[in-house]
């Protein structure tokens, strides 16, 4: 680009996406005079899914704004909690976020997950068709225009990923109501109904069971239950703190 020059300042939250030479204060960017401000921002490396308001010389403008020479642009991070059009709030996660998917399902959040790499076009199409928020660390995927809504997952650690998603979207939590394997809803089940899935020791020790209405998987308060309880309690405490 070698047309009009603009001065751009990014919110600190967006520093992850901005090259080191452009992270401090405002930076000059040359444009071609025809590309939109949204395109210019993406060309720097910032996904528009992470951008909130765009303020040019003190006035908010749309991403379709064509920058003019000398304009000062403030690129703000997306507001939290982020409001998503329509209801209910549902998510779609790519192949790299399996642990996060299981934890969201544990909390009763409607979470679709692709355990194999079906490709960016198919993921974006599913996001649009089912109106699901696409969660990913793939910036290329998040730049696809057909996405319903997208969001970058900032951390590589599942506990931090979960807290970030809960903070950003504030989904309704209904712990222990979804199958962590397939996202189906759970129902109470008798020991007899799930007996074919139980080892003899489990049959002797436990009496309370649930079963997925979709895949039939049985659930009970087994050896890892305390770890799951800790995840649920931490998520619920976040909601209490949020008021």
Tens digits of residue pLDDT in 179-227: 999 999 999 999 999 999 999 888 989 999 999 999 999 999 988 899 9
Tell me the average pLDDT of the chain.
Answer: 93
Of how many residues is the chain composed?
243
Confidence of residue 125 (pLDDT cuts 50, 70, 90): very high
Tens digits of residue pLDDT in 167-183: 999 999 999 999 999 99
Tens digits of residue pLDDT in 39-59: 999 999 999 999 999 999 999
Q: What is the C-alpha to C-alpha distance for residues 85 and 180, in angstroms, rounded to an integer?
A: 26
Residue with tokens 């976020």: 97
Checking if the pLDDT of 240 tops 90, the result is: no
Q: Work out the number of other CB atoms within 10 angstroms of the CB of residue 167.
A: 13
Confidence of residue 243 (pLDDT cuts 50, 70, 90): low
pTM for the full predicted model: 0.92
Contact status, residue 137 vs residue 157, Cβ threshold 8 Å: no
Q: What is the C-alpha to C-alpha distance for residues 82 and 125, in angstroms, rounded to an integer?
A: 22
Among candidate residues 210, 178, 187, 189, the one with its CA nearest the CA of residue 107? 178
């Amino acid at each position: 680009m070698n047309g009009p020059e603009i001065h751009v300042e990014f919110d600190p939250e967006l520093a992850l996406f901005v090259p080191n030479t452009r992270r401090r204060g405002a930076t000059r960017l040359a444009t071609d005079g025809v590309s939109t401000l949204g395109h210019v921002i993406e060309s720097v490396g910032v996904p528009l899914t992470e951008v909130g308001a765009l303020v040019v010389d003190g006035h908010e403008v749309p991403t379709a704004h064509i920058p003019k020479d000398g304009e000062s642009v403030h690129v703000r991070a997306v507001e939290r909690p982020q409001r998503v059009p329509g209801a209910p709030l549902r998510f779609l996660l790519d192949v790299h976020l399996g642990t996060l998917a299981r934890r969201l399902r544990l909390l009763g959040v409607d979470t679709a997950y692709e355990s194999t790499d079906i490709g960016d076009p198919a993921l974006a199409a599913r996001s649009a068709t089912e109106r699901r928020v696409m969660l990913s660390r793939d910036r290329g995927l998040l730049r696809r225009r057909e996405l319903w809504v997208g969001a970058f997952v900032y951390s590589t650690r599942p506990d931090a990923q979960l807290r970030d998603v809960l903070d950003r979207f504030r989904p309704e939590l209904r712990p222990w109501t979804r199958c962590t394997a397939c996202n189906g809803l759970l129902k109470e089940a008798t020991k007899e109904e799930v007996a074919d899935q139980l080892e003899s020791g489990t049959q002797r020790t436990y009496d309370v069971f649930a079963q997925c209405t979709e895949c039939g998987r049985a659930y009970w308060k087994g050896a890892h239950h305390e770890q799951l309880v800790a995840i649920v309690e931490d998520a619920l405490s976040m909601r209490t703190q949020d008021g």
